Copies of this chain bind each other. A is one copy, B any other.
Amino acid sequence: MKNFISVHDVTDINALVKKALAFKANPLMSQSLGKDKRIGLLFLNPSLRTRLSTQVAAKNLGMEAIVFNVDKEGWALEFEEGAIMSGNTVEHVKDAAPILGSYFDILCIRTFPSLKNKEDDYSELYITQFIKYAGVPVISLESATLHPLQSLTDIITIQESLQAQKITRKPKIVLTWAPHVKPLPQCVANSFAQWVNAWGEADFVITHPEDYELSEEFTKGATITHNQDEALKDADFVYVKNWSTYTDYGKIYENDPRWMLDSEKIALTNNAKVMHCLPVRRNVELSDEVLDSPNSIVTQEAANRVWAAQAVIAEILGGK
């Protein structure tokens, strides 16, 4: 693996999941793989789980991890080619990226979308420019349109749960939109859809109110419906997530509280396991009742972030 930006960087999802679960069973089994190597974690946006789990994963591999909050500790970067930099941006990615590449063996980058200009966001300019100029492997810690470490974690958690429940048939997985208080990126939903489709071992349904259609680039292969109750029927896994509109970009069209996942909705499912990438707005996206029930596997899911990151870093270090 050269970079880790989307599911397209992975040749065998199940093999990567297996590797991650091996690390979960034995976190320090490859403690010398990263000896005398360094991983740089650059945040253009805030992070809790992603930052800490990636630091822990790197340490488990014997690597030195250095965090740099570009937004707070550094300055505004310029990403446009040919920019006349007489404004607020202080340094061009063409200058910053190769230098960071000289300091680190692997660069990890988090950068959010503007939610203002769809073309810009969906061109993935920021992370693409980093890859172009860094000269070392780049791992996405969430980009404008995708969150691949989260999605790998999600597949890991689903497989783990299937094994624990001894389910061998094809599970039904439902990705459902949920209400929120502000416009959020489509990244987690796009990425989850992309990975579940690429994995191919589930009946996959996406449900959301009208006007919240995601890009077909990621959803193609899933069944899409505006009827949440119907979607939830017999679900084995319900993935809850808010996103803002994609078509008329970055807006909140409707925020119907009845889309919140509560116990009544769970009753429609096959006693489904409930997932969420966190942070979650309790009693807005998901009810306390559900989150505090045995149906919720959100803590297990977030804890699995470590093993996803560790598997990806190990693949890159191993040059596979």
> A residues touching B (Cβ–Cβ < 8 Å)?
28, 36, 38, 40, 43, 46-49, 51-53, 55-56, 59, 64, 66, 68-70, 72-75, 78, 82-87, 90-92, 94-96, 98-100, 102-103, 181, 278-284, 288, 291-292, 298-299, 302-303, 306
Contacts and interface: CB of A to CB of B under 8 A. Distances in A.
B100 A52 contact: yes
A271 B278 CA distance: 55
A91 B278 contact: yes
20 contacts: A38-B59, A47-B73, A48-B73, A48-B96, A51-B68, A52-B100, A53-B103, A56-B66, A59-B64, A72-B73, A86-B181, A87-B181, A90-B281, A91-B280, A94-B292, A95-B291, A99-B278, A99-B299, A99-B303, A102-B303
A16 to B, nearest CB: 21
B49 A55 contact: no
A282 B78 contact: yes
Interface secondary structure of A, over-half rule: mixed
A278 B85 CA distance: 13
Given A282-B83, A299-B102, A55 B46 contact: no
B55 A75 contact: no
Given A38-B59, A279-B95, A302 B85 contact: no
A252 B312 CA distance: 50
A264 B56 CA distance: 51
A46 B73 contact: yes
B68 A48 contact: yes
Given A85-B284, A284-B85, A74 B48 contact: yes
A73 B51 contact: yes
Nearest to A74: B48
Contact of A95 (B51, B94, B103, B298): B298
A82 B288 contact: yes
Given A66-B52, A95-B291, A96-B48, A302 B102 contact: yes
Nearest to A99: B302
A28 B36 contact: yes
A59 B65 CA distance: 11
A68 B92 CA distance: 26
